Structure formats: structure tokens, C-alpha cells
Amino acid sequence: MEIRLSSVFLAALLLSGCGWFHRGDKGPTPIPAEEPQAEPSIIDPQVTRRVVKTPRIKAKDFELGAYFGALSIEDFGTNPIYGLRAAYHVTEDIFLEGFLARSKAGLSSLEETFPDISVVSNSGRQFTYYDLDVGYNVLPGEIFLGRGRAFNSQLYVTLGMGDVKFADKDQFALNFGLGERLLVTDWLAVHLDVRDHVFESDLFGVTKNVHNVEATLGLTVFY
Amino acid sequence: MPRLLAFILFVQALLFGGAVHARDNYLELVVTRPYLEMHTGPGRGYPVFYVIGRGESVTVLYSRTDWYRVRAPRGQEGWVRRNDLAATELESGEPAPIPPYPDFSAHRWEIGAGYGVYNRENLVTSYLDYGLTDSLDVEMVLQQAFGTLDNRTIETIGLRNTIVPEWKWFSPTVGIGMGHQSVSDKVPPAPLESSNELAYAGLGARGFITRRFMWRFDWRAYVVFNQLNKSEVLEEWKFGLAVFF
């Protein structure tokens, strides 16, 4: 009984306390701030500051595209190759380029002569590579088509290195190439490239440097 | 046939709409020097084929390296050298907002690739680097080493301190970090462990070449954590070229 009574008192106290606190929240009534007695201006400037947003100039230094052609794999015949390329033009002369491509080797002359012998397994005939290159536009110029048309073009050399995966082995490969970039429009280019991928191979018993020359035709877009 | 016509109209509307929309977003500049030369291509050797006179406006379409593709008031399009365009003004008289090249001593991002030798194996390396401050960078490296017995893929992350970032052409660096390597055998027998954690400490140097272009040289000593009795210490050096932003 006593407990109930005290709890009722306590509840009442709490409630009144809450009420008190709430009352306290209201705070004193604000005194209106005195208006500054400014001189009435004759001209009321209604000019809002004009925000001029200058458009950004888009940089189109990247070149992205695809290519296909023929790859001569030393001892394994000439085969179609197709790949992707991406370049970044650092200056009007220098560019950095990456390649990713794939081809499939045919039969070596040994395998053709002796059909029972297999130098490379079937899965090992896949020839894939990636390359990281530096390129230099050696001979920029124009190519004329008839009287009224001129296309910008650049003859370039590239030097680089990468990975050639052939015969189920990843090999360090150097590559060097010569190419011609012909700009059909200012954002679309046709490429003609000849590149040699050199790596060490011991597939036929002796370790030697093998040269794998490719001739490709490509199409790239500047963006 | 009507469907084809509708399609053509739709494509045209898209193209035209796009063109109109795009035109609104191009930068318009006013020539303030006696003339502005337009070249046929984005290179120093391409001939000048058109000249925009003082007071005329020029529309800047886009840039490629040091050259800007512009449109003259009468529609001719050609390439203008960066320095020439920087001498023009906005209509309001302010200088043309041609963004400056990033300051080499204070740049933030670097991306590059190079050649090296890792544990006497040929190495192809690539890296991405972010500058926390002018002198302290976080760098992520992904590289592939090609040996006679095995090939390795190495990924590392580390900190690199450029000792004097103000030195433009040659500035030494020191770095530490950790990473992982995976080993795949080329010739049997298979390696005892196909993957290891590793840590490295390194010395290097970097320098400016031109525009956004720079070089890097690095030497690193790696400690490979393995389960064998003897800890493996590998040495690496590499040289790379990079672009900074």
C-alpha cells in the first residue's frame, strides 16, 4: 500500500517535473531587435551577381581500338591475329600504348612431316600477348588523295615489352614496330602496323631467340 | 519504308539535337592578338591554312596534347597551338581558361610502367601512385617476372617518400611496403611454395621529362616469408616511365 502510494507521488512528481522542464524550454519571450536607422537609399540595386560558368575543354588524348592481321609465329606458320589497343598521347610526339592480342599457331614443319610428333599440345597452340610500349611519331604529315582531299598521318616507331604466352608458357618478350596512323577524321584513325615480338624459346631443343612478326590493320577512336 | 524514314528522322534528330546541345557547351574565346593561326593538324609541322583576326570569336571544341581543335566564326575547323590560344580572352575580358599543366612537385596521381630485373629474372612492372602530400605517396605495384625456372606475379602496396619534392629533374626517394608473390613453375620440379607474403624496403629516384611525363628508377630488397628454414632475400631494380596528373 505504502509502496503504491509512494509510487503515485513519485509519478506525480515526475510528471510535474517534466512539465516544469517543458516550461523552461520555452525560455523568455524574445525582445524585438531594434531596426537599424539607416538612411533611405535612393537607388535600390537589384543586380544579382552573374555567375559565369565557363565550359571545360574536353581533352581527347586517349586512343582506343582494335586490330586484326597476320602473325608469323616462327616455325609454326602464319596465322590470323586479332587484338585490342589503347594509347595515351603525352605530347604531339610521344605516346604510351598497350596491346592485348590472340592468335593460334598452326603446325610446325616437323609436325607436318611426321604427323605422329606433337611439339606443342593443342591448348598450347594459343598464342596470346600483352605489350606495354612507348611510341614516337617520327614522320608526321599529310597524305593526299586526289586533288581535294588530305588526311593527317603519322609514321611512328614503337618499342616495348610484355608477355607472350605460347606453348603453355609465359615468356618475356621484347617488341619493336613501325606503324602508320592515318586520320580519316580528327577522331577516327586507321593504323597499319608491322611489329616483331622477340622471345627466347627452346621448343626444338636449342634455346634461341624467335621472331614473330605481325602485320596488322587497325581502327582506333580518339576520345 | 515509313519505318525507315522514321528511323532516319529519329537518328537525325538525335544527331542534330546532340550537336545543338553540344554547341552550347563549347568555350567561346575572343582573339586579342592581331591574328590566331589555324593549322591543318595537331603538330608543329602542319601548315597554317586559316587565320582568325583580332576581335573575332573562336569556339574551342577539344584538345589533343598541346593542341586545341577550334572552329572559326565562318565554320572552318583547325588546330591551334596551346600558347596561342592561351593569349585569347573570354568575352568578359578575363584571360582564356586554359588549364595549366599539373605542377610536377605537387602532383597527385601517377600511372606508369617499366622494365626491371627481379631475382635475376626479366620483369615487367606497372604501378599506380597517389600522393598523400607532396613528398609522401602510396603506391600500388603489379608486376610479372619471367625466369628460366619459374614465373612470378608480384603485387605490393607501400609508402614512398620523395626526399626533396622540389627537385625537378632528379629527386631521390625511399620506400617500404608489403605484398604478395605467386610462383608458377616453368620447368619441373614445382616450387616448394607457390605463394608467399613479402615485405620490401627500397631506394629510388624520380624526375620530370616534359608536360605530364616523368621517369622513375627503383631498387628494392624483398624479404620473402616462407616456411623453409632459411629466409629468402630477393633484389630488384627497375626503370619506368609514367604520366602524372
Read off the pLDDT of residues A163-187 as tens digits, 9 standing for 90 and up: 999 988 889 999 999 999 999 998 8
Residue A89: its chain B contacts at CB < 8 A? 64-65
Mean pLDDT of A8-13: 54
Lowest mean pLDDT among A16-25, B103-112, B159-168: A16-25
Residues carrying CATH 2.30.30.40, chain B? 26-100
Residue of A nearest to B244 (CA): A90
Q: In whole angstroms, give the CA distance from residue B206 to residue B235.
A: 19
Average pLDDT for A184-198: 94
**A171: contact with B, CB 8 A cutoff:** yes
Contact list, B92 vs chain A (CB under 8 Å): 52
Mean pLDDT of chain B: 86
How much is the pLDDT for B19? Answer: 44
Structure confidence at residue A33 as a pLDDT band (50, 70, 90):
low
- CA-CA distance, B242 to B231, in Å (whole number)? 33
Q: Determine whether the interchain pair B68/A88 forms a contact, defined as Cβ–Cβ distance below 8 Å.
A: no
pTM of the model: 0.78
**Domain spans of chain A?**
62-222
pLDDT at A87: 94
**Residues A181, B64: Cα–Cα separation, whole Å:** 15
pLDDT at site B98: 83
B231 contacts chain A (CB < 8 A): no
Chain A residues with CB inside 8 Å of B81's CB? none
Q: Are B122 and B146 in contact (CB under 8 A)?
A: yes
Whole-angstrom Cα Rg for chain A: 38
User: What's the fold here for domain A62-222?
Assistant: Porin (2.40.160)
Q: Which pLDDT belongs to residue A9?
A: 55
Task: Tell me the shortest Cα–Cα distance from B137 to chain A, in angstroms.
Answer: 23
Question: Are residues A208 and A201 in contact, defined by beta-carbon separation less than 8 angstroms?
Answer: yes
Which residue bears the cell 616523368? Answer: B214
CA distances from B142 to B49, B117, B129 (A): 47, 14, 12
Q: Residues of B with CB below 8 A from A183's CB? A: 41
**Pairwise CB contact (< 8 Å): B65 & A150:** no
The closest CB to that of A140, out of B43, B69, B126, belongs to: B43
**Phi, psi at residue B14, to the nearest 5°?**
-60, -50
Among B201, B208, B130, B133, residue whose Cα is nearest residue B163 = B133
pLDDT in tens, B166-205: 899 999 999 999 999 999 888 777 777 889 999 999 999 9
Cβ-nearest to B63 among A52, A60, A137: A60
- Locate the chain B residue with the closest alpha carbon to A50: B92
A58 closest CB neighbour out of B45, B62, B92: B62
Question: Which residues of chain B neighbour A141 with C-beta distances below 8 Å?
Answer: 45
For this complex, say whether ipTM is above 0.85. Answer: no
Give the three-state DSSP class for B84.
Answer: helix
- pLDDT beyond 50 at B147: yes
Q: Which of A25-34, A104-113, B14-23, B90-99 has the lowest mean pLDDT?
A: B14-23
**Mean pLDDT to the nearest integer, B83-103:** 84
> For B49-76, what is each residue's pLDDT tens digit?
999 988 899 999 999 988 999 999 998 9
pLDDT for B24 beyond 80: no
- Say if B102 is an interface residue toward chain A (CB within 8 Å): no
Q: pLDDT at position A5, please?
A: 54
Residue B151 has pLDDT above 70, yes or no: yes
Q: What tens digit of pLDDT does each residue of B114-136 get? A: 999 998 899 999 999 999 998 99
Nearest residue of B to residue A200 by CA position? B148
Q: Where are the beta strands (DSSP E) in B65-135?
A: 67-71, 77-81, 109-118, 121-131
What is the arithmetic mean of pLDDT over B211-226? 92
Which of B124, B154, B238 is the best substitution to test chain A (most A C-beta atoms within 10 A)?
B124
CB-based contact, A144 to chain B, within 8 Å = no
Provide the mean pLDDT of chain A: 83
Of A26-40, A50-64, A186-200, the least confident? A26-40
Share of chain B residues as helix, strand and coil, in percent rounded to the nearest 5: 15, 55, 30
Give the closest-approach CA distance of A215 to chain B in angstroms. 24
B182: buried, middle or exposed (CB in 10 Å: 19+, 13-18, 0-12)? middle
CATH of B26-100, one of 3.30.470.10, 3.40.50.150, 2.30.30.40, 3.60.110.10: 2.30.30.40
Whether chain A has a CB inside 8 Å of the CB on B83: the answer is no
Label residue A24 by pLDDT band (50, 70, 90). Answer: very low
**Between A54, A60, A161, which is nearest B62 by CB?**
A60
Q: Using H for helix, E for strand and C for coil, what is the string for chain A?
A: CHHHHHHHHHHHHHHHHHHHHHHHHHCCCCCCCCCCCCCCCCCCCCCCCCCCCCCCCEECCEEEEEEEEEEECCCCCEEEEEEEEEEEECCCCEEEEEEEEEEECCCCHHHHHCCCCCCCCCHHHEEEEEEEEEEEEEEEEEEEECCCEEEEEEEEEEEEEEEEEECCEEEEEEEEEEEEEEECCCCEEEEEEEEEEEEEECCCCCCEEEEEEEEEEEEEEEC
Residue A175 pLDDT = 94
- Tell me what pLDDT residue B17 has: 43
Identify the H or E element spanning B239. strand B232-244
Shortest CB distance from A91 goes to which of B61, B68, B211?
B211
Of all residues in chain A, the one with the smallest CA distance to B65 is A91
With a pLDDT cut of 70, the percent of chain B lying above it is 90
Q: pLDDT by residue (tens digit) across A117-152?
A: 888 888 888 999 999 999 999 999 999 988 888 899
Report the pLDDT value the prediction gives residue A62, as an integer from 0 to 100: 93
pLDDT of residue B7: 57
Fold of B104-244: Porin (2.40.160)
d(CA B184, CA B201) in angstroms, rounded, equals: 24
Instruction: Tell which wins on pLDDT, A64 or B98.
Output: A64
Percent of chain A with pLDDT over 90: 48
Which of B122, B154, B187, B216 has the highest number of chain A CBs within 10 A, making it the mutation to test binding with A? Answer: B122
> Residue A55: pLDDT band by 50, 70, 90 thresholds?
confident
> In which residue are the cell numbers 615489352 written?
A161
Beta bridge partners of A127: A103
| pLDDT, position A32 | 58
Binary contact (A137, B43; C-beta < 8 A): yes
pLDDT at B5: 54
Least confident of A135-144, A185-194, B88-97: B88-97
Would the CB atoms of B146 and A58 count as touching at under 8 Å?
no
Q: How many CB atoms lie within 10 A of CB A111?
A: 16
- Of the candidates A57, A142, A183, the beta carbon closest to that of B60 is on A57
Judge whether residue A195 has pLDDT over 80.
yes
Q: What pLDDT is recorded for position B20?
A: 42
Nearest-CB residue to B65 (from A56, A61, A169): A61
Residue of B nearest to A150 (CA): B40
pLDDT band at residue A11 using 50, 70 and 90 as cut-offs: low
User: pLDDT at residue B8 above 70?
Assistant: no
Q: What is the pLDDT of residue B67?
A: 92
Average pLDDT over residues A149-164: 93
